[in-house]
Amino acid sequence: MPRDRSRRTEGSLLLLVTLILISGFILVYLARTRVGPPADAINLNTATPDELALTLEIDPALAAILRDRRARSGDFGSVRQFALTPLFPDHTVSTHIRDALRQSKLDVNAAGPREIEKTLGVSPVVARRIVSFRDGLPAGRFTKADDLVRTPVVDERAVSALGDRLIVRSQIAVFWQCGIYCGSIVLLAILVPAFLRRAGVHGDPLLIPMALLLAGLGVIAIFSLRDPLRDTPDYFHHVTGLWIGLAAMLAGALLPARHSEIKWVPARNNLRRYTYVWALAAMILTVTLWKLGTGPEGVRLNLGFFQPVEIIKLLIVLFVAGYLAERGDLLADALHRWRPPMPRGWGRHLKGFSLPRRQDFAPMAVMFGAALLLFLIVRDMGPALLLFGVFLAMLYMATGRSGILWGGMIMIAGGFVLATCLKVGVVPVRVEMWRSPWDNRFPNGMQLGQSLWAMSSGWITGTGLGLGSPESVPRGRDDLVFSVLGEQLGLIGSAAILIVYAVIVARGFRASLRAHSDFDRLLAGGITALMGLQAFLITAGGTGGRAPGRGPPSRISSCSTSPSPASIRSRSATSATWWRI
């Protein structure tokens, strides 16, 4: 495609996608704020202590604690955060209270207001609030003495009784807040390709518009999940992940292909020199995740504020691409026919299987097998299945032997059966949820059934953006975001999203075929396969129930900068880096 025509195509698509996303944002905003707050609503972030005391029927001294907390730590993000504000929000004060409890050996479940006041050195109002909270607990007592420090300022039942009267932001604040975040993504997605073209980098005109469309739809879907006036918005960290993805795409696209004129800037082709460095980094991150990772149901997914799984996937792709770029031809040439031992004359018509030499295949098999084993140890089967699928795809691209794919599928099927029989990790749970989505014995086992119900509620044309009941979909902000979009956009919109994914994957493989080096070809193809397989596993398995999905074991990425939809969109932007070759 000539460069002028390519530039016009990209510009036209970006304009069309921008108009679609602006229209979608306005529709969701109108749908989520159509009722509006009542006339007597109280904004918890602007109300005075007297107004808080009068509305909540609490002592003015307690209202002053809420005001001080707001002045010190910023506005309340949600009504729930307001309701859970502790009496002792300052770390120094809470530490002093804990020390006093240990030294005095006060019986916190028998002490009255005067004894608490005298022992802990708190005001009478605070002492009475502690006793009131203790008596209102289900057992009428604290489980442990330190629970006293977490006593909230207000009674949660009083907050619930006020219902919609309590808000944390106005309608106009919601509009500008979301508009600025979403607008920044659209603006960056328009400016980045323009900058790259001025820098002489000419890439595929479809990739960035398609990735922007998926990113915007994901943010719109997540915006529709929460009450914008009363809940904490979930899209902040998703947008942050997209900023990081665009920055990575820009940095990668500007890397020279073979030779760099700046000493400290590596050329893209030099990345293959660090093949085993990528493997070592992936192993270190995996072991760290195994030892220090956290997550519900025993699944180790999080390291602090982010999930290293997404980084590990890309490191493994870099390793495999570098290794196969050097040894791919040897692997293809060294394939020999192996026949199982059989009596003479029995295997005359048996062609055998194509296998590489042990010395060529062993190093990569050992490292990749170790990575998969560690993923099994951390009890998350999804990344192991995904990485093995990408490994097979890249090995097929390097050798052109279809027998590798058939052998790999047999290994996957056998491993799945073995994991189910041995009850490895959460595999048996996923199988039973898949077999009985509407009736199983697991507390959260209805998520597949609820996903199917949500998509069926959308019918052909959908309920409309922001309408329906998206908040009833479990894990709607990560693994089951496609169900949220399916309910709101219906069959037509869901099919359009899958077509966009198919276009990105097809253009990614097209670019890999046009690459000038084996490393670029394998890297672009590997990242494309990674994104395509992950979209397939989440859509067909976790959302559509076509296979025992990895499901949301708890949260694949819900509280970090790499949640499932955001990780896919960020990888779309990062993948575009390697496709500009």
Whether 371 and 441 share a structural domain: yes
CA 424, CA 419: separation in Å to the nearest integer? Answer: 5
304 lies in the same domain as 432: yes
Number of independent structural domains in the chain: 2
**Got the DSSP string for 184-230?**
HHHHHHHHHHHHHHHTT----TTHHHHHHHHHHHHHHHHHTTS-TTT
335 within domain boundaries? yes
**Are residues 114 and 237 part of one domain?**
no
Coil/strand/helix, residue 166: strand
Q: Is the residue at 31 inside a domain? A: no
Within a domain: residue 193? no
Q: Give a yes or no: residue 523 inside a domain.
A: yes
Q: Looking at the structure, tell me whether residues 154 and 266 fall in a common domain.
A: no
Domain assignment present for 416? yes
Shared domain check, 294 and 212: yes
Instruction: For residue 213, tell me if it sits in a domain.
Output: yes
Residues 6+ apart with CB under 8 A from 155: 132, 133, 136
Domain boundary among 167, 183, 217: 167
In a domain, 27, yes or no: no
Single residue among 149, 167, 185 that ends a domain in this structure: 167
Give residue 55's domain range: 42-167
Same domain, 268 and 411: yes
Quote the pTM value: 0.79
**Per-residue pLDDT at 178:** 86
Strand partners, 78: none
Cα 296 to Cα 551: distance, rounded to the nearest angstrom: 13
Residue 213 sits in the same domain as residue 163? no
**Which regions in the chain score pLDDT beneath 70?**
1-3, 257-269, 295-300, 304-305, 328-368, 370-381, 403, 424-427, 440, 442-445, 540-581
Instruction: Choose one of 167, 191, 222: the last residue of a domain.
Output: 167
**492 and 549 assigned to the same domain:** yes
> What are phi and psi for residue 338, nearest 5 degrees?
-120, 130
Distances (CA, A) of 81 to 45, 255, 437: 12, 45, 34
256 and 326 in a single domain? The answer is: yes
pLDDT of residue 258: 65
Number of neighbours of residue 12 by Cβ within 10 angstroms? 12
Q: For the stretch 146-160, what's the b/e string if a residue is b when 16 or more beta carbons lie within 10 angstroms of its beta carbon?
A: eebbebbbbbeeebe
Q: Which two tokens stand for residue 568?
A: 């896919």
Residues 226 and 152 in one domain: no
Does 551 lie in the same domain as 428?
A: yes
Residue 196 belongs to some domain of the structure:
no
Q: What is the pLDDT of residue 361?
A: 62
